[in-house]
Amino acid sequence: MMSEKEISQGCKRGIASAQRELFDRYSPMLMAVIYRYVADDDDANDVLQDTFIKIFSTIHSFKWKDVGSLQAWTTRIAVNTSLNFLRQQKRLKASTLPVETLSEPPDDSDETTSQAVNDLDVSTIMQMIAELPDGYRTVFNLYCLDGFSHKEIAEQLGISEKTSSSQLARAKALLAKRIKAYINEQNNTTTQ
């Protein structure tokens, strides 16, 4: 098994085995990243293909720094490719759910609700995130999962920092509403 540094050096020299290693090692992780933004399977596969085209065509600009730097670089390309796809599909316009339709997050003082939220499995939460409107989901992912600041998000999406912050607040409120409904549904199912 090649090291990350060997993979990057091999890819820069156009060595097919290094390119294959990079694809085999990183495609599952990159698909998970892409799927957070592009929830349709066919679209996500297209974006993954475009991501690897960009990776291989720009690998000469990659500078290996330390373990994890290649993964971080490829992840950034996957995020940017996903955002470009959403822009091209005109799916990145600001989602507008009226604020009054959004409930407050579950009250953390309620130990039962808090424990139920902690007991949710990751796949259930990720599915709820995937079902958020495109604009909300994109800002939520960029901020909460990929660590972008509101300033970076604003630059990436061509929106104001205030819009980014507002989209995040609405995404969190809608996600909290869905989590609460899911917990209530689960509680009703177990008590019947």
Question: What CATH number does the domain containing 163 carry?
Answer: 1.10.10.10
> How far apart (Å, rounded) are the C-alpha atoms in residues 76 and 54?
11
What is the span of the domain harbouring residue 37? Answer: 4-88
The model's pTM is 0.72
> In this structure, are 42 and 119 located in the same domain?
no
- State the pLDDT confidence band at 180, using cuts at 50, 70 and 90: confident
> What confidence tier does 116 reach under pLDDT thresholds 50, 70, 90?
low
pLDDT at position 92 is: 59
**93 belongs to a structural domain:** no
Q: Is residue 116 part of a domain?
A: yes
Number of separate domains in the chain: 2
Domain containing residue 23: CATH number: 1.10.1740.10
